Structure 1
Amino acid sequence: MASNRNRGSQKSGARRAENNRIYAHPLPLAFSNPEPGSTFGYVLGLLGFSLTKIENPHCEGVFDPATRSVWITNERDSSILWRRGFFGKGDLSRSEPSWLARQISARKAAGKYMTAEEIREKRRAERKQFKMDRAAAIAKAAAEAEAAFAEGRQAAPAVIPSGATWKPQQLGETAELPEEAPDDKDEDDELEPLKDVEHLQLTLQEAFFLVWNLDCLTVLDPQTSEPLSLQQIWKAFQNVHCVPPELPVYTNRFDNPFLVNYAAYHYYRSLGWVVKGGIKFCVDLLLYKRGPVFHHAEFGVVVIPVYEDSRDQESSPFNLPNANTFSWSWLSTINRVNSQVQKTLILTYVTIPSSSRVSTDLLSSPACLAHYSVRDVVLRRLIPARMRD
């Protein structure tokens, strides 16, 4: 038993070391220092100079207004942006673009063994069957107890399946696994080679952070395939929330959804958190200390816009989520969901500057973001079973 545990820990340690090597860079920009012991570097260091080099990957993406995202179709760029900061997600995957690897694995399996997706679906089916069997056993025991009480006799002991003792039903003798094909080499040779049709999909907040703060992403126009300038990107990302964008009611608005969401995204990214979407847990953002490869998200963030001037909210053409007063039942529901998955809920209040105080001319550039303020409130739900100590 001890040897098995040692092998398991070694395997886990080896996998952890491999992840640390692959995901060593927290951002797409990589920094390299001169070789240690270099006399020239030592002299320059004494003079106050640095020989640190910045490696900029210069990735490219295509702006897609329909999905409000930027598509990274180059395999090299997708790998860099995911492995250096966990930016974006595969459009055919849950997180990392792994569609091609999963298809290759499924083709190799071909009935010989189960893939990871098949194992997951099997476990889900087993859990569903266990809940159904337990509910049926409970209903049967209740009916037996009522019948025994009516007849004036003692009820027979009920057997309720538990997670530790319950086992899924085994296949019958007739339901055997299919026999292995005699020789399918020729069939494998005839299979067409797989083509990677997946792309990395960046949110507008992620794309603008890479463009404006790191200068490592070039966004191309979907019509002309020409690079967009920072000014064009700034306007295009706001216009996707304006339908149609030429209406005067949408112009010069500090409460544009892109600006509000980017203020919250930039706030946490600048503090070193890995920020991902949190729709799965009924929140706007998830905060990871290092990334989804290493551990689960520690915090769930709900972005709450707050108008500095109530008149701006009355005249707003945007229906910002959570801008109006929310109910305690809504808040308790979201808090309960995140508590069950061991996440701490954060209410992030983004204050929208008043148009009467701040000139709307600042909206022509990202300089207007300096007038937004972000405050966060941590909300925890009391769970007596976990918090007795």
Structure 2
Amino acid sequence: MSATPATTPITLPFLDLQPIYQRSKPEIDAALARVAGSGWFLLGKELSAFESAWADYCGVPHAAGVANGLDALHLALLALGVGPGDEVIVPSNTYIATWLAVSQCGARPVPVEPDPATFNLDPARVEAAITPATRVLLPVHLYGQPADMDALMALAARHGLKVLDDCAQAHAARYKGRRVGGLADVSAWSFYPGKNLGAMGDGGGVSTGDAALIERIKVLRNYGSRIKYHNEIKGFNSRLDEIQAAVLSAKLPALDPATEERRQIAARLLEGLAGLDLQLPHVPDWADPAWHLFVVRHADRDGLQARLAQRGIGTLIHYPVAPHLQPAYAELGYGPGDFPIAEAIHREVLSLPLWPGMSEAQVEQLIAAVRASV
């Protein structure tokens, strides 16, 4: 993530979590006190209650809490049987955690270019990347915009593959009227504080309709153990603690109202920024985004970011460097020009402020600043 250059004081921050806390403050404070008084901090009633509530919200029978979003992806891939020698198809433009989860399994991430309109994995390009070593398709609902899941699920079915979708930015998004989180074989979530449903620290989870899969993930997250001190497999320490589970349960009832607020702000931004030399978010007819991020695209992205900073507007870049050009993946042998769509996106995207609690005056301030800066 690349932040606004330090110039003049920022009067409209990129994100302010205080209004989000304040709207659920009594419930959150009560949850914190309840856990503190219980004397039980791991794998207890709060986690079970949140897992049940989150599964219901996603429209699936099962959910499991884990330590963070990267672990959610990693453990889901392991539970699907991914290991050394396997390949997993990933977007060429995404946060690097999507790729890292594949690498942590000993498998190889195979990048595929996105649809330039939606920035999401392009089903039309995926089939050419499938090989005998491919095991899983791993689309990302980037910025809260649902990927084209029906097309990807049909493609996976034709080739005998599984689908794990990265829902880290897509809490409350819908695809053809269906909630994200119940569209794939298994879905991975992040509850990082800045997410649309965020904890007060790191947190993650998975949701699925597969009872056997969720059981494998629950064993993997707890040292490979179902019974204390009896270890069936080599597992991990990746547990969503009772405090974070209680906070998430307290905040969950506010998720849908907050998402509606995000959608209203996004609609005003789309209206107010129309007609500029600026690529605005494209929403297919079948998508109902969560609007985790409002991402625009401009040929002079860095200049636009600097001009907005001069007008007191905080912005971020999601993300400045495509995964295939990161030093962490030098061993794959990719270089500039290998994934031109992703590279252009990473050069040109800029995330504008959008969060529940933004006042009408702040939204208009943002529109005026962008119009004066493009």
TM-score (norm: length of structure 2):
0.24
TM-score (norm: length of structure 1):
0.23
